[in-house]
Chains A and B, each alone.
Chain A
Amino acid sequence: MSSENALLEEYAQREYEHGFITDIEADSIPAGLSEEVVRLISQKKNEPEWLLEWRLKAYRHWLTLEEPKWHNVKYPPIDYQASVYYSAPVQKPKLNSLDEVDPVLLETYEKLGIPLEEQKMLANVAVDAVFDSVSIVTTFRETLEKHGVIFCPFSEAVHRFPELVQKYLGSVVPYSDNFFASLNSAVFSDGSFCYIPKGVRCPMELSTYFRINAQNTGQFERTLIVAEEGSYVSYLEGCTAPKRDENQLHAAVVELVAMEDAQIKYSTVQNWYPGDSEGKGGIYNFVTKRGACRGDNSQISWTQVETGSAITWKYPSVILQGDNSVGEFYSVAVTANHQQADTGTKMIHIGKNTKSTIISKGISAGVGQNSYRGEVKIMKGATNARNFSQCDSLLIGDKCGAHTFPYIEVRNTTGKVEHEASTSKVGEDQIYYLRQRGLPTEDAVNMIVNGFCKEVYDVLPMEFAVEARKLLNVSLEGSVG
């Protein structure tokens, strides 16, 4: 297999295609973190007093916390004073239409394949584009507002809908939740806010596209989605960053609230810069994502394709409070080269007849380390709760690792929990079979990997599924042997 090894090696030495840097004047504050910085961020965003107070509470709490150590990822200590906590491209203060957006920024998104000009859009997707610390533009706003759907940058929502923001901010992920969530609560800069009123089925997919551009800048965005009774929304999230030699920190928080009969579908294609083949640079992605199924019959579904970042640390979770509520987690996590991922989910069953499904596919190549960490909890009142978990790992090469850490806790006799895990490698016989039928090794490997991930792709919105498949193929280039 040595020739194949060489081929696969080469295949892995791919370039990160979103690694360019946009040269634009930025309004950045000096590096470092202090109460002053928190006040400064709040002041720059002209925030109301209550929000500043909340940030300060979070900051003071953060000071008392220690960075978690239980995860199965290794990285040098992060210097939180070396990061810049606010950076915004300089442009006109208020945007009413795309014409007012700096053409340099439009070009950046064009290059990333995210057209912000509505007439050019093929897909029926509304996009909120976040560049470093601020939201640049949100498309299709008028169409959405006709249906009563609020979809706008977080900082704008704070001014336009203060009651809603105040009511739900921190209601799922409190500022004291964990080290990275507290940090985010103190310094978050922008993000998306989305509110679907009662009975409304959101007419299009909503999407936020995050881009880190500035150097030494941490990105701390916050997304809040509230789906009122009987509503439906499908939300997509994508992210990229330029190639830089330093590690950059990304600590986001996403909160979802689903009321009675509401359904939220949240899909992520995470493609932050993963670092080079030597493991230099890359984004440290420490993210807290959690949804609460507050009402009966509500449903929250997380789908994630994690191909980027030097380190991925995220556990999108669902708290199943309402009776008959449903939580789902579908994940494909790829670690190639020196990437490390510690990701999974938490399903907390509180209501009766609650159901959860976990499908996790981990792919390790190169010297990548991939861990699934999940928790399924059936509380005492959760009569007839059901969980099914499946974690499969695929190993490509003998220097990578695949690990699973599932925690299961059951406190109700009627609860049924099933957990399965398996580990396997891309078989030589499988590759041989496909090559025999005329497929080059690369395509054969792609086909096998895509087949492995099929269960997750099937639940992604179509445009995303196509992108995810492409990304995965690129991520694994040159890593099979």
Chain B
Amino acid sequence: MIATETDAYQESFNQFQTDQSSTAPAWLTALRQAAMERFTELGIPTKRIEDWRFTSVKPLATKPYQNVQSISLANGDAEELLQRAKLDESFHRLVFVNGHHVPQWSSQHELPAGVVIENLASSIRDGSRDLQGRLGLETSDEAAAFVALNSAFVNDGAVVDIPEGVVLDRPIHLIFVSVEDGHTVCHPRNLIRLGKGSGAAVIETYLGREGDGYFTNAITQIELDEKADLDHHKLQHEQTESLHIASTYIDQKDSSQFRSHYFSFGSLLARNEINCMLDGEEIVSTLNGLYMPTGEQLMDCRTRIDHARPNCNTYELYKGILDDRARGVFNGKIFVHQDAQKTDAKQSNQALLLSDDAVVNTKPQLEIYADDVKCTHGATIGELDENALYYLRSRGIAAPLARKMLIFAFANDVVQGVEIPAVRQHLETILLSSHGLPDV
């Protein structure tokens, strides 16, 4: 790795540390310093690394993105974006603009005792929560460099703690808005922890103003204790010149349930990783995703499921619709460790190609070290089913509309898995409008 690529980040980092020196606790300063050193050591991944073979992050190396220290909400852009992102006034809401929490736009309804929904910067100031261990996330996986970069600049994000036995009745909506022009970067870090037998639904929305490209480098860490249940949604609507690189880490204990719904629409380059560690028995995890790149977009969806203990079930369905000169990458890794007998893992990836200039790269990957397991994966890539088209046309539906209906039906499989009505409606509207279908 050439040192010059990380140099620009180093400068920005030095400035950041100086600015933070008066407020940050000593442990955090040290943690950021160590993370920066690790980032410099790892460098920006190149295409020669197997896990980055299909995704070039060259823009990062050629034009370093600058940290934003303060935010201005004056020109109204952010507010307008926020209105677009809001799904339902009844949700608990945390709003971040360019990585910084905006209290006046965030709102919380009455919360059961012990529930915490606040922003990370105030948690750090507060000093009452054990953050050191949680922020000190170190991974050796493919996203390690970006995790290190996020830790180096870690500053704000959402902190959600649901105590034992509490089931939240309203979803928590985390909204991340980017409005700054010029090559800016933000590093949101979200920490979500669910106690024994608790339940919650979380929605993360990312969006930004059209203009110069910015870079979002997000990390969400989720811990689910025994019998906890989390319904997690991510709506990626970043503007079309931006870079979005994100990792979600989930650590699950016995009998917990996790459902992930990932929807990728925006960004020039969007790479999303979901890492599920099933560190308990009787766990059920469902990972669903839909990616719809058009134009020059590249969407890289990656999942990794570690079956570390016996008797766990995982289900995975990722669908892609690719148009124009778009590229879609899917990599689904399933590791079944030697201990993990009676594992049942199912994975399916389906991609629909609408243009000859679009490219699909799919790599499902099973690594199995236990014998009493049921693992299957399937991948299909193709165009619309001629027979289905014919059927619709024979019933008097014109070819263009028939095509749109089939595309909608293909994508809707994933959308129907979303249980929150406001989110589902939002997605259906996008699906309908993106392929020019009249509202039905």
Contact = CB atoms under 8 A, between A and B. Distances in A.
Nearest to B359: A411
B251 to A, nearest CB: 24
A396 B50 contact: no
Interface of A: 70, 72, 378, 380, 393, 395-425
Nearest to A412: B356
B380 A423 contact: no
B136 interface: no
A405 B376 contact: no
Contacts of A403: 365-368
B434 interface: no
B382 A416 contact: yes
A407 B368 contact: no
A417 B363 CA distance: 13
A167 to B, nearest CB: 34
A400 B373 CA distance: 12
Contacts of A409: 359-362
A398 B338 contact: yes
Given A410-B360, A415-B382, 5 more contacts: A380-B356, A395-B373, A421-B364, A421-B376, A424-B374
A404 B369 contact: no
B125 to A, nearest CB: 47
A410 B355 CA distance: 11
Contacts of A398: 338, 341, 370-372
Q: Which of B357, B366, B370, B380 has the most CB of A within 10 A?
A: B366
Given A398-B372, A400-B371, A413-B355, A405 B378 contact: no
A378 B356 CA distance: 11
24 contacts: A395-B370, A396-B371, A398-B372, A402-B366, A404-B364, A404-B366, A405-B363, A406-B363, A408-B360, A410-B351, A410-B360, A410-B381, A411-B356, A411-B359, A413-B356, A413-B358, A414-B383, A419-B364, A419-B378, A419-B379, A421-B376, A422-B374, A425-B371, A425-B372
A424 B336 CA distance: 13
Given A411-B356, A415-B382, A420 B376 contact: yes
B379 A417 contact: yes
B329 to A, nearest CB: 10
A410 B360 CA distance: 5
A404 B377 contact: yes
A157 to B, nearest CB: 39
A70 B50 contact: yes
Contacts of B362: 406-409, 419
A412 B368 contact: no
A68 to B, nearest CB: 11
Task: Give chain B's interface secondary structure class.
Answer: strand
Contacts of A395: 368, 370-371, 373
Interface string B336-361: 00100100000000010111111111
Contact of A401 (B354, B368, B382): B368
Contacts of A408: 360-363, 379, 381
Nearest to B378: A420
Nearest to A425: B371
A410 B376 contact: no
Interface of B: 50, 338, 341, 351, 353-383
Contact of B379 (A70, A414, A415, A418): A418
Contacts, number: 116
Contacts of B50: 70
A188 B287 CA distance: 50
A413 B360 contact: no
B142 to A, nearest CB: 14
A426 B182 CA distance: 60
Contact of B359 (A396, A400, A406, A410): A410
Nearest to A371: B367
A416 B385 CA distance: 10
A393 B368 contact: yes
Contacts of A401: 367-369
Contacts of A407: 361-363
Contacts of A378: 381
Contacts of B382: 415-417
A405 B371 contact: no
A406 B378 CA distance: 10
Contact of B376 (A397, A402, A414, A422): A422
Contacts of A411: 356-360
Nearest to A394: B371
Nearest to B341: A398
Contacts of A424: 373-374
Contacts of B379: 406, 408, 417-419
Contacts of B338: 398-399
Contacts of A404: 364-366, 377
A410 B353 contact: yes
B384 to A, nearest CB: 9
A409 B381 CA distance: 9
A432 to B, nearest CB: 15
A407 B358 CA distance: 17
Nearest to B372: A425
Contacts of B358: 411, 413
A416 B381 contact: yes
A421 B377 contact: yes
A419 B383 contact: no
A64 to B, nearest CB: 16
A355 to B, nearest CB: 14
A396 B316 CA distance: 26
Contacts of A414: 383
B375 A422 contact: yes
A416 to B, nearest CB: 4
Contacts of A421: 364, 366, 375-378
B156 to A, nearest CB: 39
B213 to A, nearest CB: 26
B353 A413 contact: yes
B364 A423 contact: no
Nearest to A72: B367
Contacts of B378: 418-421
A70 B363 CA distance: 15
B46 to A, nearest CB: 15
